Chains A and B, each alone.
Chain A
Amino acid sequence: MSKRIKVALIGNPNTGKTSLFNQLTGLHQKVGNYPGVTVDKKQGTCKISENSTAIITDLPGTYSINPTSIDESIVLKSLLNSNEDEKPDVIVIVADIENLKRNLLLFSQIQDLEIPIILALNMADQMERKGISIDIKNLEKQLNTKIVLISARKNKGIDTLKEAIENYNSLKIHSDFKELSHKIDTTYFDELAKVSTRFLAYELWMMLTKQHTSLLSSEEKEQLKSFGSDVSTQKKYQHKETIFRYQKINSILKETYTIDASKATDLRAKLDAVFTHKIFGYLIFFGLLLLIFQSVFDWASAPMDFIDGLFASISEFTKSNLPAGMFTDLLSEGIIPGIGGVIIFIPQIAILFLFIAILEETGYISRVVFLMDKIMRRFGMSGKSIIPLISGTACAIPAIMATRTISSWKERLITILVTPFTTCSARLPVYAILIALIIPDKKLFGFIGLQGLTLLALYGLGFGSAILGAYILHKTLKIKSSSFFVMEMPNYKLPSVKNVFLDVLEKTKAFVFGAGKIILAISIVLWFLASNGASDFKNAEKNVTQNIANQKLSSTELSQKIASQKLENSYIGIAGKAIEPIVKPLGYDWKIGVGLIASFAAREVFIGTLATIYSVENNDDDISTIKQKMASEINNETGEKRFNFATGISLLLFYAFAMQCMATLAIVKRETKSWKWPIIQLVGMGSLAYLTAFLAYQILR
């Protein structure tokens, strides 16, 4: 059994911490969850020598251990953990040589928690180019720590770091907190230290200011309370603590760190002048958006068709090669199409995340946030909301998770609530088929396709309603929360292929396993409800055979008739019939009603459900595709086509507005920690969908 060393990576955002993590662990990483919070826990293993393995945890990037967001609070919680299994043996602080001063603030705070620590100075290969020189020996002495120079991207210095990790037992523990706290208020901090023998004075100070007292006994909690009676003093002390830490860092760096200003390039300034320009900035951003959507459609269509075909043939193969029975039906009609329904979105989601990862890696996305902040604020959101709104066009689930970077709760909540309005990829199959049915395939001015234009209009409608919804919420929600906003504008850099690849892989995996579980479960439930029923269901075959005894029907037609009869009397058919009066004013019949119910698993299930329901009533053998089946469906009351213009538009609007996705509702519940908001979302968006669909149908009829 080799030795296992628990390592935690900590550092400011944009210091290359993720690059280092990827370099150390490669594909040996997995994403878990921290207990009780919805922050992803990235862990990986790394062999550091013949007889020891490191278990590396990549903690969220933070500027200080005083948290301002859920992600950041994880760092402090991990470090205060009294649970020996969880507490890291050694901490690697990743610092970037260019912003060393700011990086050392976090270092000094963590050092005072008295955990073995290694300072890894990243991007060391850039020192010469940037005119930086550091007296490492002296800096080590002054900071009382071990320093390793690395370049995570160029894979340099990693071995030295591994060696330092292996010998973590020989690292010196050092804390300046006593000296520091005596500069602030000697009596206060000396008394505070007496509260508990198990914790350091600095740990107690952290617990006090963060109200993170779960590790203390009730007696200790009681004693600690008296120190926190005066909040303004506490704040003052925190401010002083930060100032004194910086003073010390400044004096140390004066001796050990020099930067030759003449070497500074003004590349950043030049690029910023273009990317944050009041005209070109927006043009470039919208140009990029167009390029992204174009690529998402173009590149994803071939793999999506392939996946579609693949799962259809797997289903077919299962049906014809396994012994007939309940289990085979469950496989071929429930599970396999269910899995297929999840897999089919992977190409689109992966491509979109690829673009977003590249934009984030290069540092460009911060410039977009900077450009959009003021506009978004008018609608009660933050500049940072732009990322979820773009991601929402792939899938609302990862998009809602991406709102965690927004520190104002009101801005974040509004973003969460309106993200599902954006046109996600699950709506696309429904849109595509309905548009093909009701919009003529004509060209405007000879080159603008009407059908494409309709799709674009639906995208605009989704985005527009998100913005409008946000505005209404902004004016009605009475939530007091600070709209404090600060964002680092990182250096521009070329994206690393490894980082982008691993990021896309991780997000796609999260979608498949997160949303996939729910979609699969609901598909199975739906299949069960569609293939079981009361007595009429069981006698469907007999009834059909009796009814049409005098008609000459081919065996396919007969089995289709039986299938549709069965469906009508299955549990789901009964449910569809029950809601028929409700959906009738929108121009739908019970079959479409069933499709709407089924859509709660995932919107795209609508098409498959209709395909199951429609049996072909005329004797034309070549009518096989879903589109043709839908086109030939007749509304028995009017004798017109079921999918005429009015019903089509009504359905499109319903799908554009309704919140028909259980998986998203589950995520909203998790992120807002209450059922209140997902219920408001479901009812609000549902009513809006019903109303617009109703109006559209009644006017166009």
Chain B
Amino acid sequence: MNSIASLQIGERGIISEECLDIIPLKLLEMGCLPGIEVELLQIAPFKDPLYICVNGSHLAIRKKTASKIVITKI
């Protein structure tokens, strides 16, 4: 089970379809959808939050949220 939180900087993954109900609505609305590619751009000092690029949106999310979003690494 890989999640966004298990990506290394520069790695990418596809958000899995089973995540639909887990992803907070706000994140969905910002473009973080199942089947979409996520790239981890940067990790803040102290390992949290994460800086991701998804669907053209550049977002910072906390590790807790990121670890719930299952992905398949590319």
Chain A contacts to B: CB under 8 angstroms: 63-64, 66, 68, 98-99, 101-102, 105, 235-236, 238-240, 242-243, 246, 268-269, 272-273, 276, 278, 281-282, 366, 369-371, 373-375, 377, 383, 483-490
Question: Is B25 a contact of A238 with CB atoms below 8 Å?
Answer: yes
- Taking a contact as CB atoms under 8 Å apart, the answer to whether A272 and B29 are in contact is no
Q: Given A273-B42, A486-B60, 9 more contacts at CB 8 Å?
A: A66-B25, A102-B55, A102-B57, A239-B28, A242-B29, A269-B41, A278-B45, A485-B62, A489-B51
Interface centre among A105, A238, A374, by most chain B C-beta atoms within 10 angstroms, is: A374
Please name the residue on chain B nearest to A407 by beta carbon. B26
List, in ascending order, chain A residues with CB within 8 A of B58's CB: 268, 488-490
Question: Cβ of A484 and Cβ of B24 under 8 Å apart?
Answer: yes
Given contacts A101-B55, A242-B28, contact A373 B44 (CB under 8 A): yes
Chain B minimum-CB-distance residue to A268: B58
Q: Do the beta carbons of A102 and B56 come within 8 Å of each other? A: yes
Closest to B36 in A: A246
Which of A246, A366, A490 is the one whose CB lies under 8 Å from B33?
A246
Q: How far is the CB of A112 from chain B (nearest CB, A)?
A: 15
Which residues of chain A are near B33, meaning CB under 8 Å? Answer: 242-243, 246
Which residues of chain A are within 8 angstroms of B61 by Cβ–Cβ distance?
Answer: 485-486
| Contact residues of B between 15 and 49, Cβ < 8 Å to A | 20-21, 23-31, 33-34, 41-42, 44-49
Which chain B residues lie closer than 8 Å to A269 at the CB level?
41
Please name the 5 residue pairs, one residue from A and one from B, whose CB atoms are nearest each other, closest first: A278-B45, A374-B46, A64-B29, A489-B58, A374-B48
Known: A102-B55, A272-B41, A278-B45. A366 touches B30 (CB 8 A): no
Determine the distance from Cα of A242 to Cα of B33 in the docked complex, in whole angstroms: 9
Whether B59 contacts A485 by the Cβ 8 Å rule is no
Q: What chain B residues lie within 8 Å of A236 (beta carbons)?
A: 21
CB pairs A–B below 8 angstroms (10 shown): A63-B26, A101-B31, A102-B56, A272-B42, A281-B45, A374-B45, A375-B46, A377-B48, A486-B24, A488-B59
- Distance of A267 from chain B, by nearest CB (Å): 13
**CB of B67 within 8 Å of the partner chain:** no
Q: Which of B29, B30, B57 has the most CB of A within 10 A?
A: B29
Residues in B with CB closer than 8 Å to A99 are 56-57
CB-defined contacts of B55 to chain A, threshold 8 Å? 101-102
B65 within 8 A of A: yes
Please give, as numbers and ranges, the residues of chain A lying within 8 Å of B46 by CB-CB distance. 374-375
Question: Shortest CB–CB separation between residue B2 and chain A, in angstroms?
Answer: 20
Whose C-beta in chain B lies nearest to the C-beta of A259?
A: B56
Contact indicator A371/B45 (Cβ below 8 Å): yes
Question: A63 to B51, Cβ gap below 8 A?
Answer: no
Q: Which residues of A contact B30 (CB under 8 A)?
A: 63, 102, 486, 488
Q: B25, A483: Cβ atoms under 8 Å?
A: no
Residues of B close to A242: CB separation below 8 A = 25, 28-29, 33
Query: Using Cβ atoms and an 8 Å threshold, which residues of chain B touch A369?
Result: 60
Chain B residues with Cβ below 8 Å from A281 are 45
Provided the pairs A64-B29, A236-B21, A489-B51 are in contact, do residues A371 and B44 lie with their beta carbons within 8 angstroms? Answer: yes
Interface centre among B20, B28, B34 (most CB of A within 10 A): B28
Chain B residues with Cβ below 8 Å from A366 are 60
Q: Is there contact, CB below 8 Å, between A276 and B65?
A: no
Contacting pair B34 A68 (CB below 8 A): no
CB pair B65 A486 closer than 8 Å: yes
C-alpha spacing A458/B63, complex, angstroms: 36
CA A63 to CA B30, docked complex, whole Å: 7
Q: With A101-B31, A281-B45 in contact, is A68–B26 under 8 Å at CB?
A: yes
A485 to B61, alpha carbons, bound, how many Å? Answer: 6
Give the residues in chain B near A487, CB-CB below 8 Å.
59-60
Known contacts A63-B30, A486-B30; is A239 also within 8 Å of B21 by CB? yes
Which residues of A have CB within 8 Å of B45? 278, 281-282, 371, 374
